[in-house]
Amino acid sequence: MSSFPPFPAADREAALAALEDFLPRAGRDYAEQRNHDQGPSHRTNVSLLSPWIRVRQLPEWEVVAAVRREHGATTVGKFIDEVCWRTYWKGWLQLRPTVWRDYRQRVARLQAEAGRDGEVQAAVAGKTGIDCFDAWARELVETGYLHNHARMWVASIWIHTLKLPWELGADWFLRHLLDGDPASNTLSWRWVAGLHTAGKTYLATRPNVRRYTQDRFEVTADFAKTPVDLEHSPPPPVQPLQELPAVSAGGRTGILLTDEDVSAAAWLTAEDAPAAVAGFFLAEAYEEWGTADHVVRFRKEAMWSALGKSADNGLFESVDRLADWLKATQIEVLLMAEPPVGIWTDILPRVTRVCRESGVQLSLRRHGWDTLLWPHATHGFFRFKKVIPQVLARLDEWEG
C-alpha cells in the first residue's frame, strides 16, 4: 500500500477547486517558500496545478488572471514567471523543432543499445544507494510528480554523478510526469546538462539538498563537483513561427480536441456553436513510448471531462475512426488548436491527410497567449520575460 498521496482527479471541477485552494498562497508565501521540497505529504508551498495546466484544463491565461485578481500583479510576479516558463519552453522548441527530432532519434538509438541497461534500470528503480535520488525516483513513478527543485537535483545526479545519458533520463521523466510536456521536459534536461545555455550547467550539492529538504535525507554520497563534458553544437537557427493559413468562410464546422488543450472548444469558435465536437487521443503513441498508466489515464479522463461524456461527442484513438466521424457528421471545416512540437509532430500529418481525403478543411488555430509569447522565445527567459506585461494586458479578453 502506497504512502504517497492519491493521483489528482482529471476533471474541471477538481482543477478549479485546487486553484481556489492555492490562491491565498500564490503571493509572497509562494515566492519565499517555493524552492523547498518538504516531501510528498507537505506541498502547500507550491501550487500542484501543473497537471491541469499541462492539458489546459486550467489554461495559463486563466490561472494567471485568477492570481492577479487575488493579489495584484506585483506580489504574484514570481508565480506568473513560473507559469510563463512553460510557455517559454514551448515557444523555444516551436522555433527550433529539429531539437525535438534529434532528441527522439537519440533516445531510440540509446534504447537499442544494451551497454548501460543495468545502471539505467537501477536508477529508475531507485536503487542507486543515493538516498535522496532513490526516494525521488520512487516518488516520480508512484505519484507522477516531483517538486521542481527535486527535478533539477535528479537530473543533475543522473547526468553528472551517475554519468547516464541525459536523453534517457528525460524520456523517463516524460513517461511518468503527469505534467510532463515535450518542450519544458526536454529543454530543462538539456539545461542541466549544459546544452541549452553555453557555459551553464546545474550541479546538485549536498548542502543545497539538505537545506531545501529540511534535512530529510542524510545525503552521504559524493556528488559530482565538475559537470560532464558533453559534445554539443550551438542550437539550430530560429525558424519563423509558422503562419496558420486562413480557412474559407462558411461550412458546417466541427471541433477536434486533443490533450494538448482540452479548453480549446471554449475559444476556437467565437460565433455559432459547432455542429459537433470530438477528441483524438494518442493511445497508440503513448503505448509505443511506454507512457505510465497514470499519465494515460489522467489525460484521457481530462478529455472525457472536456467532451462532457456525451454520446454525441466521440473520443477517437485512430485516424480511421476520425474519418468515420467526419463522414457521419458531414463536417466541412474542422477546427483544432495547433498542437505544439512534440508527440503530435508525427501524428498531425496523418490527421491532415484524413481531412484532405474526406474533403474537409482542417483549420489549425493558435491561442493569443501563444501567438504573442512564442515568437519572443528566441534567446533566454529574461529577454522573453519583457513581453509578458503585453500579454497580461489582454487577460480579461481571453479568460472568457
26, 70 contact by CB (below 8 A): yes
Q: Give the pLDDT score at 313.
A: 63
Residue 319 has pLDDT above 70, yes or no: yes
Three-state DSSP at 384 gives helix
Q: Give the pLDDT score at 309.
A: 60
Residue 311 has pLDDT above 50, yes or no: no
Going 369 to 383 to 35 to 78, the CA torsion angle's sign is negative
C-alpha 66 chain-centroid distance: 20
Task: Please check whether residues 390 and 348 belong to one and the same domain.
Answer: no
Residue 2 has pLDDT above 60, yes or no: no
Task: Please check whether residues 262 and 333 belong to one and the same domain.
Answer: yes
Q: Give the pLDDT score at 1.
A: 42
**Rounded to whole angstroms, how far apart are CA atoms 151 and 144?**
12
Assigned domain for 314 exists: yes
Structure confidence at residue 298 as a pLDDT band (50, 70, 90): very high
Phi, psi for 261 (deg, rounded to 5): -160, 90
**Rounded to whole angstroms, how far apart are CA atoms 74 and 181?**
28
This prediction has a pTM of: 0.95
| DSSP category for residue 160 | I
Task: Please check whether residues 258 and 344 belong to one and the same domain.
Answer: yes
Which residue is associated with the grid cell 553528472?
A: 160
Assigned domain for 222 exists: no
Amino acid 165 reads P
CATH number, position 157: 1.10.579.10
How far CA 12 is from CA of 57, 263, 294, 307, in Å, comes to 6, 10, 18, 11
Among candidate residues 196, 212, 228, the one where a domain is terminated? 212
Task: Please check whether residues 258 and 311 belong to one and the same domain.
Answer: yes
Assigned domain for 119 exists: yes
Residue 310 has pLDDT above 70, yes or no: no
CATH number, position 83: 1.25.40
**Rounded to whole angstroms, how far apart are CA atoms 81 and 380?**
13
Q: For residue range 226-272, list pLDDT tens digits in order.
A: 999 888 778 889 999 988 987 766 788 999 999 999 999 999 876 66
**Rounded to whole angstroms, how far apart are CA atoms 3 and 382?**
39
Q: For residue range 332-372, list pLDDT tens digits in order.
A: 999 999 999 999 999 999 999 999 999 999 999 999 999 99
Q: For residue range 143-201, list pLDDT tens digits in order.
A: 999 999 999 999 999 999 999 999 999 999 999 999 999 999 999 999 999 998 877 89
322, 280 contact by CB (below 8 A): yes
Q: Give the pLDDT score at 388.
A: 93
| The three cell numbers locating residue 66 | 485568477
Residue 327 has pLDDT above 90, yes or no: yes
| The three cell numbers locating residue 55 | 492539458
179, 145 contact by CB (below 8 A): yes
| Helices and strands (DSSP H and E) totals, the chain | 21, 5
Q: How many domains is the chain partitioned into structurally?
A: 3
Alpha helices in 24-75 (DSSP H): 28-33, 50-54, 60-71
Assigned domain for 278 exists: yes
Q: Give the pLDDT score at 356.
A: 95
CATH number, position 360: 3.40.50.620
Instruction: Give me the domain span that covers residue 151.
Output: 113-212
> Which of 268, 245, 267, 254 has the alpha carbon at shortest distance from 334?
254
Which residue is associated with the grid cell 469558435?
A: 269
Residue 211 has pLDDT above 60, yes or no: yes
Assigned domain for 243 exists: no
More reliable by pLDDT, 314 or 45: 45
Q: Once rounded to an integer, what is the mean pLDDT over residues 295-316? A: 85
Task: Please check whether residues 356 and 257 belong to one and the same domain.
Answer: yes
| The three cell numbers locating residue 260 | 494538448
Assigned domain for 238 exists: no
